[in-house]
């Protein structure tokens, strides 16, 4: 994802976003589920890692964490964390094959245009080892647009997301849904899906 306006918001709002995500990650039961689903010492990828709040929890649990973010400032912050190897890059830069036991894509792929989404999922499926686990978080709804901060979003229904995962060769296994407030102060629905490789 290389939408300059979206990435500019994350660069400029890094302090506020990091504060929000520190609180969110600490109470998010999905990261506990993800860590438990990975073997001890697993190689994992955090896609759209932000300042590394989830990556830190993975590393603290003994996972070997690679992380990537389209915001240079977010990637810089994540790379400072012990046990986290983060770099600045985009979804289309992920070219590993059979490299990860788990992939965590928490509310990052929602910034990709709808036309690009299947290709991103296909790349991530190739990067996931057979039997690996994939967690994806997305905002739910329909259409595409920008929030009050100027960030670009694509919205999907839960059923659409599960169909996309199946098409990419992943098997949806469990999901969680809810409704909450984001960095912009706007409320929206969300879904997190665990899929198996």
Which pLDDT value is given to residue 186?
A: 81
Mean pLDDT of the chain: 94
Contact 158, 195 (CB under 8 A): no
Q: Which of the four CATH numbers 3.40.50.150, 3.40.1030.10, 3.40.50.2000, 3.30.2270.10 does domain 4-89+100-196 have?
A: 3.40.50.150
How many whole angstroms separate alpha carbon 155 and alpha carbon 57? 27
What tens digit of pLDDT does each residue of 108-135 get?
999 999 999 999 999 999 999 999 999 9
pLDDT at 16 over 90: no
Q: Which of 184, 105, 101 is nearest to 145 (CA)?
A: 184
Q: What percentage of residues in the chain have a pLDDT greater than 70?
A: 99
pLDDT at residue 29 greater than cutoff 90: yes
pLDDT range class, residue 86, cuts 50, 70, 90: very high
Mean pLDDT for 65-80 is: 96
Residue at token pair 């709808």 = 114
Give exposure, 161-194, as e/b (b: 16+ Cβ within 10 Å): bbebbeebebebeeeeeeeeebbeeeebebbbbb
pLDDT, position 51? 95
Q: What is the distance, to the nearest Å, from the Cα of residue 13 to the centroid of all Cα atoms in its chain?
A: 18
Does 197 have pLDDT greater than 80? yes
Confidence class for position 11, pLDDT limits 50, 70, 90: confident
Report residue 1's pLDDT band, with 50, 70 and 90 as the boundaries.
low
- Using the predicted structure, report yes or no on whether residue 50 has a pLDDT greater than 70: yes
The stretch 55-84 carries a mean pLDDT of 97
β-bridge partners, 177: 191
Which uninterrupted H or E stretch holds 194? Answer: strand 187-196
pLDDT at residue 80, rounded to an integer: 97
Whose structure tokens read 């969680």?
176
Q: Which stretch of 28-37, 86-95, 173-182, 188-197 has the lowest confidence by average pLDDT?
A: 173-182
What are the residue boundaries of the structural domains of the chain, listed by start?
Answer: 4-89+100-196
Q: Is this prediction's pTM over 0.75?
A: yes
> How is residue 131 written in tokens?
């039997």
pLDDT-based confidence at residue 187 (cuts at 50, 70, 90): confident
């Amino acid at each position: 994802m290389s939408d300059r306006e979206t990435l500019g918001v994350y660069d400029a709002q890094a302090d506020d976003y990091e504060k929000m995500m520190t609180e969110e990650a600490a109470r998010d039961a999905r990261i506990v589920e993800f860590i438990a689903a990975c073997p001890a010492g697993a190689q994992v990828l955090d896609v759209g890692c932000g300042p590394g709040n989830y990556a830190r929890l993975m590393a603290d649990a003994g996972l070997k964490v690679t992380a990537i973010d389209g915001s240079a400032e977010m990637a810089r912050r994540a790379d400072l964390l012990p046990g986290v190897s983060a770099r600045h890059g985009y979804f289309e830069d992920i070219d590993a094959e059979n490299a990860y036991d788990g992939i965590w894509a928490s509310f990052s792929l929602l910034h990709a245009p709808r036309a690009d989404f299947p290709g991103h999922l296909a790349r991530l499926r190739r990067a996931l080892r057979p039997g690996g686990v994939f967690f994806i978080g997305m905002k739910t709804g329909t259409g595409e647009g920008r929030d009050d901060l100027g960030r670009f979003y694509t919205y999907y229904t839960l059923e659409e997301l599960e169909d996309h995962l199946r098409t990419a060769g992943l098997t949806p296994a469990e999901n969680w849904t809810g409704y909450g407030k984001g960095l912009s102060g706007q409320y929206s629905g969300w879904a997190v899906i665990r899929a198996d490789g």
